[in-house]
Structure 1
Amino acid sequence: MKRRVRGFLLIIMLAGSITGVQAQGTVQENSQLPPKEWFILDPATDNVQGVSAEKAYNTILKGKKSKTVTVAVIDSGVDIDHEDLQGKIWVNEKEIADNGIDDDKNGYIDDKYGWNFIGGKDGRNVKQDTHELTRIYVKLKEKYGDIEPKKVRKKDREEYDYWVKVKEDFEKTYDEAHQQYNFYSNLRDNIVRFHVLLKAYLGVEQISLDDLRGINSQDSIVLTARNIIGMIYQNVGEDADFDKITEDLDGAVEHFSNQVNFAFNTEFNPRDIVGDNYEDLYEKGYGNNDVKGHDPSHGTHVAGIIAANRNNELGIKGIADNVKIMVVRAVPDGDERDKDVANAIIYAVDNGAQIINMSFGKSYSPQKEAVDKAVKYAESKGVLLVHAAGNSSKDIDKGLNFPTKTYDNSKAKASNWLEVGASAWGTGSDFVGEFSNYGKETVDIFAPGVDIYSTTPDNNYKSFDGTSMAAPNTAGVAALLMSYYPQLTAFQIKDIITKSSRKFDNLKVTKPGKEELVDFKDLSISGGLINAYEALKMAESMVMDKQN
């Protein structure tokens, strides 16, 4: 699950006339920015719908002792040298760093801080990869691309019908990616051009609304520039940071460029970098020990939400105060592969992770049996799995987002799995992230996932949106429970988190991807928002009852 492309949706909608392409999405009704660390705050004391972690530390947890909990972050990599993660990274004490020997005999050489399943023995790393849809399309096209429907053998009919669906899906999404790339490219270029043009026309370094109102020109380009920049100022403010706007648009251009050039590129296959036998789903030991990778932005952000140092007066405070992050790299810029996901889960379990955060997902899973086997293994070992529900604004009761807690060819579900949607800080109709997936029978709970400020590489900090941020909020609360109440099992903690969630009577929210208002309680199984304070109260009560 790659993070959402952040952008000024309001600007994009206003500037749609530049390119003639309409942007998709809605604008958050609450234009006020929340406090920097709103996700750990409390509605009663801070007027934001955070997880109430600070309230818990100041009350229930005050003076209590805790045990260290290991949380595996399966992601794009983590900057283990970040200033706010010092002392928070899991270290394999049985392994001697960089001696070229598998000291602990776990099958992974020099895995001092975790493992990288998308790297090669020669030190190279997979950066971009294709979508799973592209990989399936390429494989089936070779078999069915030129065959006439009436010539398909009866025994191949089911697979052929699947090919028809895949082909339609691939061609549609490929075209959409091209359109989005062209849209963002043109939008970025035009906004920059208009802004520079007006500054030169007016002879100023900073344009004001009064300057724009004073323009009296017959030049259609100048008038168009005035109208577009004026609309941005009117809706964002005269202090609009055009460098930030350009940065966000650059991110969008880069994202959709990668979609076109890599994710949907049928000629692109970086797997030779890894050097494994890709057809062997249960192969072990491939990869390397580079847990940072080429761009650990996403994974570092996730790690900070869970574990950023709470006592160093730097950056932010993570949710859990006594936690170690085990780094497992398996997510490229593109879709992760089932084989890597399965091995990443097994590696985390075997090396002592008690919670696994999985902020990734995709729409197809051709080797789901391998992932199911790994999930069952984690379940048998009592390890809690926390998974982001996805950013496609869809009901995943109907449209799947893999991996899933439901085992293939079965109605059975993993009992150690939490599926998490993303919420915002207020309680208006925009309370649910407009991008978030949902599901009355699939998503367990919602957690903060809009405008989440956390760690990024090279000692930086940024705000990201996504269910990718909601999952570590949940994993952080789970780690808090395990740390202070170690006698509780993963299954009990899952139960506590869902049952103690914050409920909202008659809260109507905009259904993601739609314009209709629905009851918030109908978008998940629990119908609630994660609440660390109430969860810890419930845990305390359970432990006291057992002692009496």
Structure 2
Amino acid sequence: MKWISLCVLATIGFQANAATIAVIDSGLDYKHEMIVPNLWTNAGEVEDRRDNDGNGYQDDVHGWNFAEQNGNIIDYSYLGTFSPDCSKYFDIQGKMFLGQATESEIAWLKEKVKDPNFIKEMGKFGNFVHGTHVAGISIRNTKNNVMGIKLIPTEVKPFFDGLARNKAYQADRWSLLEKAFDALAAEQMKMLTDIARFTAYHKADVANGSFGTGFNQAKMITDNAYRIIFFKKPSEEDSNRAAAMFIAAMVKHGQNFVAAAPNTLFVFAAGNDGMSNDQFGTSPANIKADNVITVGATYKNEFFAPFSNYGKKMVDIAAPGMLIHSAIPGNEYLKVSGTSQASPFVANVAAQIKEANPRLKPVEIKKILMGTVDPKGFLADKVATGGIVNTERAVVAAQMTNSMSVTEAISRAKSAVKAPSSFRSERVYPFSVVPMPLTPMFK
């Protein structure tokens, strides 16, 4: 720890005017060579088992672990415990996305996903590397500071084990189910609201959320609850009804979450189910507020990722999210795909916008991001803006707002910065190969 603190002290001058991004995820390797130069450090705290700044969080030097309620934002005991097959899986998956995998590689992957032990290992591996990978994207080629907020434990425990069966005898079982979902959603969002207050206290400009509960993940939770309440397996109609009920409760209580940090722009991943968030919903992606922007994924600026969730109402903007090379714990790197990777791309740009004009409010940063996109025909019915983020144009617009209105700056930046050239890839990857879901808040 002494070594990392010295590295951080050496970069204080570099970080002085940079914007801060809170990465709300599964942990952050604060010793990683890519992270160290951009690592956020709490100037009011030292690691001495005391709460030096009096904010209620002891030793929150580089962030806070809300999963275990301590300052350890990563569990290094997992380093070196995973088989090479985990990284190999992502390598072959990436080749399959581009139609470059050999028959033997495809056969290997298909066999591995049938192995329950491998799937369990991949779940832990995915959680362990996810937060660091996302953080690396959020700071790439910038002065952005990154704060580690650990929401997801590396091994996620079931949530509905304690629902009492005897309550199922009450008259209105759907009412009981709705109350149970509302209580669970309120409890989960209470933790997220605490996280938002923490980021607000430390004046985080942007918070990235590459986590959540998609409709299919919700069904795994709600189907189990349905069986407990009704003593039978739900029909497809009842399964969908219960999942929609739970997502709605999460989104409702999520308003308290984002409202707790009004000066922070929350950037949420749309989800990896390839489904419409307008129709089915994902949390927290479906939370609508002036300080929230939701991101779908593309392959570069060529085509929309078929695994990405979409929605003209619920998904605002698109960004590259396929085969993204970034950091993973242990000074290693990996190419990973998902809206989890598209979201920090936008968070990265949002922080650069804030750095260009620190007076900009979240709603204005959001307006610049959405107003400076490159329109794409393949995004016309996928995201509200119909376009992909343009980093240079957004930053130029932000710089212009120092001397003119946001609306005028956007208009001028659109004329000043042209769209990059692109081509439509003819390669099509197998739709059966999809990235892992968003990092789950619970199972």
Q: TM-score range by the shorter chain?
A: 0.5 to 0.7
For 1:417, the aligned partner's letter is V
The aligned counterpart of 1:378 is: 261
Structure of higher CA gyration radius = 1
Aligned to 1:395, the other structure's residue is in SS state coil
Give 1:98-117 correspondences, 5 Å limit: 99-117=48-66
Q: Given that residues 112 and 118 in structure 2 are in contact (C-alpha distance below 8 angstroms), is that contact kept between their aligned partners in structure 1? A: no
Structure 2 vs 1, CA of residues 405 and 345 (structure 1 numbering), >3 Å: closer, same or farther?
Answer: farther
Q: Which deviates further from its counterpart, 251-260 or 104-113?
A: 251-260
Distance 2:313 2:134 in 1: 26
Give 1:128-207 correspondences, 5 Å limit: none
Alpha-carbon distance, 1:259 to partner: 10
Structure 2 vs 1, CA of residues 525 and 426 (structure 1 numbering), >3 Å: closer, same or farther?
Answer: closer
TM-score (norm 1): 0.51
For 1:540, the aligned partner's letter is Q
The aligned counterpart of 1:391 is: 272
Q: Given that residues 65 and 73 in structure 2 are in contact (C-alpha distance below 8 angstroms), is that contact kept between their aligned partners in structure 1? A: no
Q: Given that residues 58 and 70 in structure 2 are in contact (C-alpha distance below 8 angstroms), is that contact kept between their aligned partners in structure 1? A: no
TM-score (norm 2): 0.62
Q: Given that residues 64 and 71 in structure 2 are in contact (C-alpha distance below 8 angstroms), is that contact kept between their aligned partners in structure 1? A: no
The aligned counterpart of 2:207 is: 356
Q: Given that residues 453 and 462 in structure 1 are in contact (C-alpha distance below 8 angstroms), is that contact kept between their aligned partners in structure 2? A: yes
Aligned to 1:543, the other structure's residue is in SS state coil
- 2:297 corresponds, among 394, 407, 422, to 422
Q: Given that residues 116 and 330 in structure 1 are in contact (C-alpha distance below 8 angstroms), is that contact kept between their aligned partners in structure 2? A: yes
Aligned to 1:83, the other structure's residue is in SS state coil
Alpha-carbon distance, 1:367 to partner: 5.8
The aligned counterpart of 2:336 is: 464
Structure 2 vs 1, CA of residues 304 and 437 (structure 1 numbering), >3 Å: closer, same or farther?
Answer: same
Task: Indicate yes or no: 2:390 matched with 1:539.
Answer: no
Task: Indicate yes or no: 2:387 matched with 1:494.
Answer: no
Aligned to 2:326, the other structure's residue is in SS state strand
Structure 2 vs 1, CA of residues 236 and 414 (structure 1 numbering), >3 Å: closer, same or farther?
Answer: closer
For 1:67, the aligned partner's letter is N
The aligned counterpart of 1:302 is: 134
Structure 2 vs 1, CA of residues 82 and 241 (structure 1 numbering), >3 Å: closer, same or farther?
Answer: farther
Alpha-carbon distance, 1:241 to partner: 8.5
Task: Indicate yes or no: 2:120 matched with 1:258.
Answer: yes
Distance 2:209 2:272 in 1: 14
Structure 2 vs 1, CA of residues 360 and 453 (structure 1 numbering), >3 Å: closer, same or farther?
Answer: same
The aligned counterpart of 1:402 is: 283
Distance 1:299 1:426 in 2: 25
Distance 2:205 2:27 in 1: 19
Alpha-carbon distance, 1:465 to partner: 0.3
Structure 2 vs 1, CA of residues 118 and 245 (structure 1 numbering), >3 Å: closer, same or farther?
Answer: farther
What value does the CA root-mean-square deviation take over the aligned residues? 3.7
How many residue pairs get matched? 312
Gaps of 5+ in 2: 1-14, 77-84, 90-95, 160-187, 215-245, 409-443
For 2:207, the aligned partner's letter is I
Structure 2 vs 1, CA of residues 425 and 94 (structure 1 numbering), >3 Å: closer, same or farther?
Answer: same
Distance 1:419 1:123 in 2: 29
Q: Given that residues 95 and 103 in structure 1 are in contact (C-alpha distance below 8 angstroms), is that contact kept between their aligned partners in structure 2? A: yes
**What does the per-residue CA deviation read over 1:370-418, in whole Å, with 9 as the maximum and x for residues that have no partner?**
5321211212xx2100000000000000111001454xxxxxx310111
Distance 2:353 2:311 in 1: 26
Distance 2:40 2:389 in 1: 26
The aligned counterpart of 1:323 is: 144
Aligned to 1:478, the other structure's residue is in SS state helix
Distance 1:384 1:478 in 2: 8
Distance 2:73 2:399 in 1: 48
Distance 1:95 1:258 in 2: 37
Q: Which deviates further from its counterpart, 100-109 or 359-368?
A: 359-368
Distance 1:473 1:375 in 2: 20
Task: Indicate yes or no: 2:42 matched with 1:92.
Answer: yes
Q: Given that residues 135 and 344 in structure 2 are in contact (C-alpha distance below 8 angstroms), is that contact kept between their aligned partners in structure 1? A: yes
For 1:544, the aligned partner's letter is S
Q: Given that residues 125 and 294 in structure 1 are in contact (C-alpha distance below 8 angstroms), is that contact kept between their aligned partners in structure 2? A: no
**What does the per-residue CA deviation read over 1:429-449, in whole Å, with 9 as the maximum and x for residues that have no partner?**
xx1111100000010000000
Distance 1:457 1:322 in 2: 21
Alpha-carbon distance, 1:358 to partner: 0.2
Alpha-carbon distance, 1:92 to partner: 1.0
Q: Given that residues 212 and 285 in structure 2 are in contact (C-alpha distance below 8 angstroms), is that contact kept between their aligned partners in structure 1? A: no
Structure 2 vs 1, CA of residues 465 and 245 (structure 1 numbering), >3 Å: closer, same or farther?
Answer: farther
Q: Given that residues 136 and 327 in structure 2 are in contact (C-alpha distance below 8 angstroms), is that contact kept between their aligned partners in structure 1? A: yes
Q: Given that residues 118 and 125 in structure 1 are in contact (C-alpha distance below 8 angstroms), is that contact kept between their aligned partners in structure 2? A: no
Distance 2:117 2:371 in 1: 38
